[in-house]
Structure 1
Amino acid sequence: MKNKLIVGITMGDPASIGPEITVKALADKSIYDKCNPLVVGDAAVMEEAIKIVGKENEIKINKISNVSDALFQLGTIDVYDMGLVDIAELKRGEVSEMAGNAAFQYVKKVIELAMKNEIDATVTNALNKEAINLAGHHYSGHTEIYAEFTDTKKYTMMLAHENLRVVHVSTHVSLREACDRVKTERVLEVIRIANQACKELGIENPKIGVAGLNPHSGENGMFGREEIDEIIPAINIANEEGINAEGPVPPDTVFSKARGGWYDIVVAMYHDQGHIPLKVVGFVYNQQEQKWDAVAGVNITLGLPIIRTSVDHGTAFDQAGKGIANELSLTNAIDYAVVMAGNR
């Protein structure tokens, strides 16, 4: 076990489903066959999560303050204990300053451990943006926190589910600002990052589909000139560098083509353009049983000096404390972290 890659997993917002799905994921032997998982969070919250999901007879907590003290054994969850949550004050399913601060500090700590090479990859559970800002940490999400604490200037978000992979030119900005950010330099930057990411996933010669911004990719300037003035020049430069990029492909067909195997990855121009098709494929709701059959997909920050993958869903406060949340996205995120860290 000591020779396997160590994967640091943040507990997420203590009031969320994060602790519960972490317990469920780490109850699976296959995780320990692939890596050595280490949870960064609060041991007391994880103890409660074990009870909530009904695993108290199967799993115990190993509370540690040094990575070297981890056991990495199935049936024992190693928790790098931050001691930030007062269990008596914790209200599951609610936004709070205490929970927001804790979630932020878990992320900061897991980054620190990775930057010191004490762990090989990081995986994050969901945090609540309102909660972390309430606690005085003014970030729009994980991606921006990672960028700051790793001193990274060029980065992007990738979403992945099965053979569908999407990277983004912009993410957490208004749609108006997203359109303004479609510039040749940035589009080219993301194409390069996408190409490298595919290689880290073991794809030797990636084929990249670059989405247009406007309907029908602008229809030769009839519906906007961003494709002509900004996107096509970026694709041309990428091709000159030996990158197999194609487009701009109309946004209403590029994802179906990628799903069909035409492309290994898609460069989307803004947040929802990339997120919607991924979640249509990965999130499956069973209307008859009134539950989610699958909440799959992985969120990965590319361009960092460390590996960061994440669940592709939010805190799901409405499910917190009920033991019903689906752990599939977290399991997928751990799998991606192991593959990327191994190839890197």
Structure 2
Amino acid sequence: MRVLVTGGAGYIGSHTSVELLKEGHDVLVVDDLSNSSPESLRRVAELAGRPAEFIEANVGDAAALDAAFVSFRPDAVIHFAGRKAVGESTQLPLLYYRENVAATVTLLEVMAAHGCGRIVFSSSATVYGSASEPPFAEDAPTGATNPYGWTKHMIEQILADAAAADQELAVAVLRYFNPIGAHESGRIGEDPKGVPNNLLPFVAQVAAGRRTGLQVFGNDYPTPDGTGLRDYIHVVDLAQGHLAALARIGEGAGCHVWNLGTGRPLSVLEVIEAYQKASGVTIPYQIVARRPGDVAASYADVSKAERELGWRAQRSLDQACADTVRWQSNNPDGYAG
């Protein structure tokens, strides 16, 4: 299959590109490199034994996207590209609506013009908001508490409406929880620009001496150790979930939604402890006040993905931490090094 991967130079996109290439698919990455590095794609080629094609472009650029479809003729799209920082989205909401929502509309229009009828969309557990209690099943009420979350929610609605109007369009919406870890080789991993927005890369940078300590936001939640519970999924398991969804929607049109997670919630302190064990480094942390909008627990009901995709997360928190240590040790400055 010929698969166009938007945002394929990024964290999840690069790991998914490796899995696609290893499975024999041809890959074209379209990425504007605003939050990624071309070095990741060089390493993707190294790990997969062959390269992905690459076009540097923003998905919202209709002319560049049209040219990519003309030259590559994709059978399917996996759509990762977009902005993803919750805090930034509250400060720059119009940027998020343009880069995430408007760009996805452009992508769907170009797909339709070229007769490409299969798309896997990178959504998020943020769409579950606070309207229901975990574990979240795919039919739980959805909403959002910030512009980033609303962009995911809106795109899901756009995809559902597009699939309802076009009987040839097959859509997979993948709601995933907290991606962690790195490729076991240590050659590709998460390389956030600026201050990391997620727990494990921040912990890794503290362990590597790039940051002095970690803030734990609240230890008075109704959880076993008082810190927030989250569903952490290894990035390679997540990548393989995309391939399973891509194969499944090849069986017929319509819009399908699946959670990708482990279904096993872990606390902030458990993640810190596991990373200390993997790295042999003590992680200094300070308990501070809760952040507005944070919830006590967020984790997946993954039974639908197991039943319909034949997919299940295989890798543990310990393995994710060991792989992150390997990535961080080999690349102390990320791809810039």
**TM-score over 0.5 (shorter chain):** no
If the TM-score is normalised by the length of the shorter chain, which range does it land in? 0.3 to 0.5
Higher relative CO (Cα under 8 Å, sequence separation at least 6) belongs to 1
TM-score by length of 2: 0.37
